[in-house]
Amino acid sequence: MESAKFMQNDISIGLDDHDLAMNSGTLHLEAMNGIRQMIIDGDLAPGSRIPEKELCAKFGISRTPLREALKMLSAEGHIVLLPNRGARVVQLTLREIAELYEVTGALEALGGELACERISADELAELRRIHMEMVGFYDAEDMRGYYACNRRIHELIMNASRNSELISLYGAVNARIRRARYVASMPRDRWSEAMAEHEGMLNALVRRDGPTLARILRTHLKHKGYRLTEVGIIVE
Is 104 within the bounds of a domain? yes
Is 18 within the bounds of a domain? yes
What pLDDT does 147 receive?
85
Give the DSSP letter string of 67-101.
Answer: HHHHHHHHHHTSEEEETTTEEEE----HHHHHHHH
Domain endpoint, select from 89, 107, 139:
89
- 70 and 28 share a domain? yes
Please choose, from the candidates 63, 97, 69, 72, the residue with its C-alpha nearest in 3D space to the C-alpha of residue 225: 97
- 132 and 184 share a domain? yes
What pLDDT does 13 receive?
33
Banded pLDDT at 37 (limits 50, 70, 90): confident
**pLDDT above 90: residue 2:** no
**What proportion of the chain, given as a percentage, has pLDDT over 70?**
81
Q: What is the pLDDT of residues 60-73, one digit of tens each?
A: 999 999 999 999 99
DSSP conformation class of 55: H
Instruction: Report d(CA 188, CA 24) in Å as an integer.
Output: 51
- 108 and 188 share a domain? yes
- 6 and 76 share a domain? yes
- 57 and 84 share a domain? yes
93 CB neighbour count, 10 Å cutoff? 9
Is 98 within the bounds of a domain? yes
Distances (CA, A) of 114 to 150, 197, 215, 235: 20, 19, 13, 25
Terminal alpha carbon distance of the chain: 72
- 59 and 104 share a domain? no
Q: Is the separation of the CB atoms in 156 and 130 below 8 Å? A: yes
- 103 and 160 share a domain? yes
**pLDDT above 60: residue 25:** no
Q: Mean pLDDT: which of 104-108, 174-178, 184-188 is highest? A: 104-108
Range of the domain at 47: 2-89
Domain endpoint, select from 40, 56, 89:
89
Count structural domains, the chain. Answer: 2
Q: What is the mean pLDDT of residues 87-102?
A: 85
CATH code of the domain containing 79: 1.10.10.10
- 123 and 65 share a domain? no
Q: What is the mean pLDDT of residues 194-220?
A: 96
- 155 and 213 share a domain? yes
- 73 and 102 share a domain? no
- 37 and 11 share a domain? yes
Is 223 within the bounds of a domain? yes
**pLDDT above 50: residue 233:** no
What pLDDT does 20 receive?
38
Higher-confidence position of 77 and 112: 112
- 124 and 44 share a domain? no
Name every residue whose Cβ is closer than 8 Å to that of residue 33 and which is 6 or more positions away in sequence: none
Is 66 within the bounds of a domain? yes
Domain endpoint, select from 64, 89, 114:
89
Window from 5-9, 27-31, 99-103, 107-111 with minimum mean pLDDT:
5-9
CATH code of the domain containing 222: 1.20.120.530
Is 236 within the bounds of a domain? no
Distances (CA, A) of 96 to 17, 80, 143, 210, 232: 43, 15, 25, 29, 12
Please choose, from the candidates 185, 189, 186, 219, the residue with its C-alpha nearest in 3D space to the C-alpha of residue 101: 219
Instruction: Report d(CA 117, CA 209) in Å as an integer.
Output: 9
